[in-house]
């Protein structure tokens, strides 16, 4: 039996990439994982999810829909949820002086506003979790480092990091741990949109391992943060980055 047996929670944006593998790793450790995405199913090139993962179609930007969904899922598990992984996110590559403001608004909505709303929606059920409910936000290297042509994305992830710390403090007395994971460079649909060969070479040269990571390592970090050994950890950001933040000159 895995350490998360009997636990249940939500992963947003888990139809591919990071969220897909986080959901798989949590389910392999015994959790009931509900993946909420726009498609309601894995993307074509991802294969099948492992047993224990249930894909649900939903719009994290629809507050009423998410309130109904969270109540329904909690009702299946004694009125409680044990974890929420806020993974859904978007980006757009463009120089700052040419950046379209409608895309700027979309990035801030999806990456910041909806993360906050999902946390608030799930809060009443997470605080009922035995041994403390867990919220895990996905930040980024861009919450710590500057990257050109994705300035609004950097701003959004810096905001998520600040939100993580503030919610951790505010909800500590309400039986919740709130932490974040900062992925380094992992192959995903999002990185494909913003990384060309020249940029890739520059990125990989700026880390000790000089290679992309395995998304299952992010799942392993999420599993730890959802587990019994992390009940005294809150307000922290965990870099899984091949040493990128440590790399000097």
Written as six digits, the tokens of 150 are 């994705």
pLDDT given at position 2: 86
Q: Single out the catalytic residue among 34, 123, 153, 232.
A: 153
Q: For residue range 56-96, what is the model confidence (pLDDT) as tens digits?
A: 999 999 999 999 999 999 999 999 999 999 999 999 999 99
pLDDT given at position 131: 87
pLDDT given at position 194: 62
Nearest partner of 191 among 153, 247, 243, 155, judged by Cα: 153
The DSSP string of 130-169 is TT-EEEEEE--GGGTS--TT-HHHHHHHHHHHHHHHHHHH
Catalytic, 123? Answer no
Q: Residue ranges per domain, the chain?
A: 8-244
CATH 3.30.590.10 describes domain 8-244: no
Q: For residue range 160-178, what is the model confidence (pLDDT) as tens digits?
A: 999 999 999 999 999 999 9
* Ordered alpha helix ranges (H), 29-177: 63-75, 101-108, 114-126, 151-170
Rounded to whole angstroms, the Cα distance separating 78 from 55 reads 20
Q: What is the DSSP letter of 54?
A: E
Rounded to whole angstroms, the Cα distance separating 69 from 243 reads 38
pLDDT given at position 216: 94
Average pLDDT, 10 consecutive residues per value, the chain (249 residues): 92 94 98 96 89 97 98 98 97 96 98 98 98 97 94 98 98 98 82 72 84 93 97 98 88
């Amino acid at each position: 039996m895995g350490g998360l047996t009997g636990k249940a929670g939500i992963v947003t944006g888990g139809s591919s990439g990071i969220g897909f593998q986080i959901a798989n790793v949590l389910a392999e450790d015994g959790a009931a994982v509900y993946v909420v995405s726009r498609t309601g199913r894995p993307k074509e090139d991802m294969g099948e999810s492992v047993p224990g993962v249930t894909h649900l179609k939903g719009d994290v930007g629809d507050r009423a829909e998410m309130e109904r969904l969270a109540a329904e899922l909690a009702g299946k598990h004694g009125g409680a949820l044990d974890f929420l992984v806020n993974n859904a996110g978007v980006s757009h590559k463009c120089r700052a002086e040419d950046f379209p403001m409608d895309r700027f608004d979309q990035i801030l909505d999806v990456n910041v506003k909806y993360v906050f709303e999902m946390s608030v929606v799930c809060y009443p059920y997470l605080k009922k979790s035995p041994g403390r409910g867990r919220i895990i936000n996905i930040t980024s290297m861009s919450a710590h480092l500057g990257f050109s042509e994705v300035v609004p994305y950097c701003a959004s992830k810096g905001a998520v990091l600040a939100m993580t710390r503030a919610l951790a403090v505010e909800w500590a007395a309400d039986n919740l741990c709130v932490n974040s994971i900062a992925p380094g460079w992992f192959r995903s649909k999002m990185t494909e949109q913003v990384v060309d060969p020249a940029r890739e070479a520059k990125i990989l040269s700026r880390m000790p391992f000089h290679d992309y990571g395995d998304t299952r390592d992010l799942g392993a970090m999420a599993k730890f943060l959802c587990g019994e050994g992390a009940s005294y950890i809150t307000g922290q950001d965990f870099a899984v980055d091949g040493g990128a933040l440590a790399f000097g000159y």
